[in-house]
Amino acid sequence: MALQNGNGEHYSSDHILHSQAHIWNHIFSFVNSMSLKCAIQLEIPDIIHNHGSPMTLSELVKALPISSEKAQFVYRLMRILVHSGFFTIKSISKTENGEKEGYFLTNASRLLLKQEPLSMRPFLLAMLDPVLIEPYHFLGTWFKSDDINPFDTAHGTTLWEYAGHEQKLNQFFNDAMASDAALVTNVILRNCPHVFEGLNSIVDVGGGSGTLAKGIAKAFPSVNCINFDLAHVVDGLKGSSNLVNVGGDMFKGIPKADAVLMKWILHDWNDEECMRILKRCKEAIPSKKNGGKLIIIDMVVNHAEGDYKFLETQLFWDIHMMVHVKGKERSEKEWAKLFVDAGFSEYKITPVLGLRSLIELYP
């Protein structure tokens, strides 16, 4: 049977129902992230991991810190988490009543374990904190206003100012960035150690608690490393024989070194602000002939090819930047224009970080 819309166009029932399902899927897509957050708050990945073997539903329910009235709902929570790829369920034995099944961790849920060195748990809790979720409810209002971004519309201030006054969010944010830096450090040092070879010194701009700089300093004892961030961020941090922590403002000046490193910094800022940062970076390093370069770790949005989910996640990040700061995720064409306008001569993009790339930029 064909259905007719207000313009006299005919659609099949299947077409209408498929469209309805598509809309529903987007309406309720937040269920995935909130269910995952719930699992982390209940420490389900850690409970299954510490059990030491596949865990049955009854064993999991018994181990969870929940009231007996809520036990009946655990299966439904686990069902959506299995469907979304965070756990898997397999037969572990056969009984008179059928097969006995148990829950296993997947690669994704292993990255959410508390004791996992590369754990993304702090990142998940930070990004799904109500303070960062609330601005999305003001997206439409922001478009009609003169506010800087939806975060400003929701909270009356910028993210950076808010975090400066709210210790909980500031700690969440710092922990999130440190956990991401640990993962990036592991991948970069394993797959691209040549990027740091031949350098005598490097400064990590916006390095936070110094996770990335520490990793480089340990892997390359002959390289003098500087972890550079705002004074209140680096105050009290400990250095080493080839690592120092320096406070300052990247918009005013950057410590001189053979190379400047910026992980996930430029996507926080608009083109005009990025231009100012890039020019400061150029002032801090020697010429290409004398070994100078800028190392950028950031996303390069590619609409032409690649994994659909990768592109979708990059586009999610672009909206996330629009909602919380003044930045954006850039295509290679957009990056190239920034580099040329800032006075750099050439660049090289190496896609070795999944959604992000390593960009080497030369003066």
Active-site positions read: 267
Residues 349, 215, 170: CA angle, nearest 5 degrees: 90
Hunting for tokens 């609409």 — which residue is that? 303
Task: Spell out the alpha helix ranges (H) of the chain.
Answer: 13-27, 30-41, 44-51, 57-63, 74-83, 107-110, 121-127, 130-133, 139-143, 150-155, 159-165, 167-191, 211-219, 231-234, 271-284, 308-324, 332-341
Pairing label, strands 259-263, 201-205: parallel
Contact call for residues 282 and 363 (beta carbons, < 8 A): yes
Centre a 10 Å sphere on the Cβ of residue 27 and count the other Cβ atoms it contains. 9
Which SS3 state, helix, strand or coil, does residue 338 take?
helix
CB neighbour class for 42 (10 Å; exposed up to 12, middle 13-18, buried from 19): middle
| Pairwise CA distance, residues 20 & 321, whole Å | 29
Angle ∠(293,182,312) on CA atoms, nearest 5: 85
C-alpha 71/C-alpha 77 separation (Å) is: 11
Secondary structure element (H or E) that encloses residue 301, with its range: strand 293-301
* Residue matched to tokens 């370069």: 293
**212, 185 in Cβ contact below 8 A?**
yes
**Nearest-angstrom CA–CA distance, 112 and 245:** 29
Instruction: Please answer whether residues 342 and 279 qualify as being in contact, where contact means their C-beta atoms are separated by less than 8 angstroms.
Output: yes
